[in-house]
Amino acid sequence: MKPRGIGRGRAPMALTALTVVGAVALALTGAAKPQGGADFQQSGHWVYNAVLGGVFHLDGATGAIDARAEVPEAEAGSPVVQGSTGGYVIGRSRIIEFGKSTLRVERSTPAPSAEAPVTLEVPGGPYVIYRESGKIVWLGGETATVSADGKLGDPVATADGTVWLHRPDNGAVCKLVKGALRLDCPASTPKGQTGALTVVADRPVFVNTATDTVHAIGEAGLGEGVPVGADLPPSARLASTDVDGRIAVLDGAAKRMLLVDIGGPNRTGPPAKPAVVSLPPGDYTDVESSGQTVVVVNKATNAVLTFDRAGKPLRETTMPPGGTRVSRGEDARVYVDSADGGHVVAVDHDGRVTPVPISGDKITSSNQPQPPPAEPTLTGGPGPTTGAGPTTGPRIQPPPKLPPPPRSTTVRPVQPTSAKPPVAPASPPGVPTSVRASSGDRQLTVDWGAAAANGAPVSAYLVTWTSSAGGSSKRVGGGTRSTVLTGLANGTAYTVTVVAENRAGRGPGGQATASPVAPKPQRSIQLSRGTPELYKDDCTHLPDSAKMRVTLRGFAPNTSVKVIPYSSNPRYSNEGRTVRTDANGTHSFEAFHYCQVGRQVWVVADGVKSNTITWERR
């Protein structure tokens, strides 16, 4: 592959290709020292809450929400990544940048592709990778896009900020060094063989699922393979980095996870057999590592499962209904976001799990705008000091003491007043009650009950819907109790959230989950007169004698159906014919000779009656 790029990249990082099993094991499990640099590690995690319309910063160490930025133009379900000075909301149509210090939107640029991307937070990054279109967007400085000239697999990154990518079509293994805008492709995998990249001991490796081997990646190409000791399916998913020296391999179809031990520098025998972890029934596509802990998500139950390096279960944490997104922050923690951004589960390096609901009323940071303090009165000239402070200059003048009020010798009774008690200030509305979502063809009908006004009339309801296929939102009037969401994907589960608004803000949301369904086609049978044809001794005159033409529509696809003809002549009898519908549930054929002029005929199949026709002489 001939790489393309923008600008001038740095010199390629030197790597050594290892060709013997022992050397491969040493390379993959030896201690790695990240290169030094001026980058500071970006800690915590940003998430976009579609219901509240803002991005929130989660302190991964404490679980506290310590900052919020308003991003009104963001799309529901958008992931958020951060760099050294800014954060980026990655929408399907636009990438919106906000300042981490100003907490304001700085710019908005069109997204290079409408597909759902993979994001990486690494030193010098972040990066957004569009695998289908083969585009890598660098957001570490001025936004730039690098083309890989083909589809990409899941990317990985090492601690120095180098991004590694694999092109499954031609096998090229490429890297993008921190700050570079040009791909360098030092290795290649065998064409036609499946596999994926991961990182072990901060070195990139390729796991070949066709040969069930692990290969170190060096400047001289792909190193000799180390057997993994298990049969890996082509659909296997890998954590982006090792789990204390082991490779976490998710086999979602078999409901199992393998922890592959490829050996170490002090091991004399062959690598140990992989630890095999049986997973509960469910739907598994996501696996990630925080360094010491494996994180797996059961999408069927929205459960976040954690395991140690030996496969021992640690904890199961259930998230609210709806889709989930798994990512690994630059702080090496694993973050699992709910689709609407209303909930995050943070998994620390040591396996500690912190579930955090994202709410606008829990901001704890002084980074948020605060009312200015009252200004003290300043007077010039020298004054008393404390400690080692200056002896001249402005000083704070305490307010003058007021004399006590004069004593009164006349006691006056308190007169009653007609003043009304103070009105309590308004607060955001309550939760909309009885939220329901009814399925239709590519649409959902959402109904809800009124939310408590809490001191101010409800001015609007914000309806947000999210799913694995994307999402959006709409605002309706405060008196509205129903709305229709159109343009949805049939068979996809959508989480719908309804939030009430008044002049004091937005309240909590009520939720419902439903899937649009395509309507079943209406079954019908059309009967008409078919080709004239004589039949034995019963129908010997043309054109009175002819076949019946029968057309079935809307029946179950690829299904056998028995069709029986009937006549107004009580002596008529026919055992019928069994036919098979096509993939669209239709079938047309000619059968059932008939010649009784003036009589009525019809057919019945699976309880469905056709139209009735009168047999005429022609």
Fold classification of 436-514 is Immunoglobulin-like (2.60.40)
* Confidence check: pLDDT of 128 > 90: yes
- Identify which of 11-20, 120-129, 215-224 has the greatest average pLDDT: 120-129
Tokens 């705008």 sit on residue:
369
Residue 19 banded pLDDT, cuts 50, 70, 90: very low
Q: Are strands 54-58 and 334-338 parallel, antiparallel or unpaired?
A: unpaired
Angle at 78 between CA 76 and CA 84, to 5 degrees: 140
The pLDDT value given to residue 209? 92
Determine if residue 588 is left, alpha or beta; phi over 0 gives left, psi from -120 to 50 gives alpha, anything else beta: beta
Tokens 């000791």 sit on residue:
229
* Confidence check: pLDDT of 186 > 50: yes
Per-residue pLDDT averaged across 343-372, rounded?
A: 71
Question: What's CA 478's distance to the chain center, in Å?
Answer: 30
Question: Residue-wise over 298-336: b if at least 16 C-beta within 10 A, else e?
Answer: bbebbbbbbbbbebeeeeebebbebbbbbbbbbbbbbbb
Angle at 17 between CA 16 and CA 20, to 5 degrees: 125
* Confidence check: pLDDT of 476 > 80: yes
Least confident of 82-91, 413-422, 457-466, 467-476: 413-422
Cis peptide leading into residue 543 (ω within 30°):
yes
Per-residue pLDDT averaged across 497-519, rounded?
A: 90
* Confidence check: pLDDT of 415 > 70: no
Helical (H) or strand (E) element with 290: none
Question: What separation, in Å, do the N-terminal and C-terminal C-alpha atoms of the chain show?
Answer: 73
Residue 263 banded pLDDT, cuts 50, 70, 90: low
DSSP string computed for 144-177: EEEE-SS-----EE-TTS-EEEE-TTT-EEEEE-
Q: Are strands 294-298 and 284-289 parallel, antiparallel or unpaired?
A: antiparallel
Beta bridge partners of 294: 289, 307
For residue 21, report the phi and psi dihedrals to the nearest 5 degrees.
-60, -45
CATH 2.130.10.120 domain locations along the chain = 230-355
Share of the chain above pLDDT 90, in %: 46
Residue 362 banded pLDDT, cuts 50, 70, 90: low
Amino acid residing at 364: T
pTM of the model: 0.61
Question: What's CA 422's distance to the chain center, in Å?
Answer: 48
Per-residue pLDDT averaged across 262-284, rounded?
A: 75
C-alpha dist (Å) from residue 465 to 76, 77, 247, 471, 486: 8, 9, 36, 5, 11
The pLDDT value given to residue 40? 55
Measured distance CA(306)–CA(312) in Å, rounded: 9
173, two tokens: 């293994």
Amino acid residing at 99: G
The pLDDT value given to residue 271? 63
The residue ranking higher by pLDDT, 340 or 461, is 461
3 state DSSP class of 24 = helix
Measured distance CA(452)–CA(1) in Å, rounded: 62
Q: What does the pLDDT look like over 28-58, one tens digit per residue? A: 443 333 333 344 567 899 999 988 889 999 9
* Confidence check: pLDDT of 375 > 50: no
Measured distance CA(472)–CA(466) in Å, rounded: 7
Least confident of 145-154, 239-248, 260-269, 380-389: 380-389
What is the chain's mean pLDDT, rounded?
A: 81
Q: What does the pLDDT look like over 86-122, one tens digit per residue? A: 999 999 899 999 998 899 998 898 998 888 899 999 9
Per-residue pLDDT averaged across 479-495, rounded?
A: 92
Nearest residue to 91 via CA among 55, 60, 67: 55
Measured distance CA(325)–CA(323) in Å, rounded: 7
Per-residue pLDDT averaged across 407-429, rounded?
A: 53
For residue 475, report the phi and psi dihedrals to the nearest 5 degrees.
-115, 135
The pLDDT value given to residue 172? 92
Q: For the structural domain made of 524-614, what CATH number should be given?
A: 2.60.40.10
Tokens 């078999």 sit on residue:
254
Q: Domain 230-355 is of which CATH architecture?
A: 7 Propeller (2.130)
* Confidence check: pLDDT of 477 > 50: yes
Cis peptide leading into residue 321 (ω within 30°):
no
Least confident of 33-47, 243-257, 589-603: 33-47
Angle at 126 between CA 241 and CA 166, to 5 degrees: 50
448, two tokens: 């809800």
The residue ranking higher by pLDDT, 266 or 257, is 257
476, two tokens: 């309706």
C-alpha dist (Å) from residue 254 to 248, 257, 277, 278: 15, 9, 11, 9
Measured distance CA(576)–CA(64) in Å, rounded: 73
Nearest residue to 83 via CA among 46, 109, 50: 46
Q: What does the pLDDT look like over 539-565, one tens digit per residue? A: 877 878 889 999 999 999 999 999 999
The pLDDT value given to residue 390? 37
Measured distance CA(545)–CA(234) in Å, rounded: 61
* Confidence check: pLDDT of 393 > 90: no
The pLDDT value given to residue 513? 92
Residue 458 banded pLDDT, cuts 50, 70, 90: very high
Share of the chain above pLDDT 70, in %: 81
Amino acid residing at 3: P
460, two tokens: 């609007």
Residue 616 banded pLDDT, cuts 50, 70, 90: confident
CATH 2.60.40.10 domain locations along the chain = 436-514, 524-614
Residue 320 banded pLDDT, cuts 50, 70, 90: confident
Question: Residue-wise over 141-154: b if at least 16 C-beta within 10 A, else e?
Answer: eeeeebebeeebbe
- Alpha helices, DSSP H, located in 483-605: none
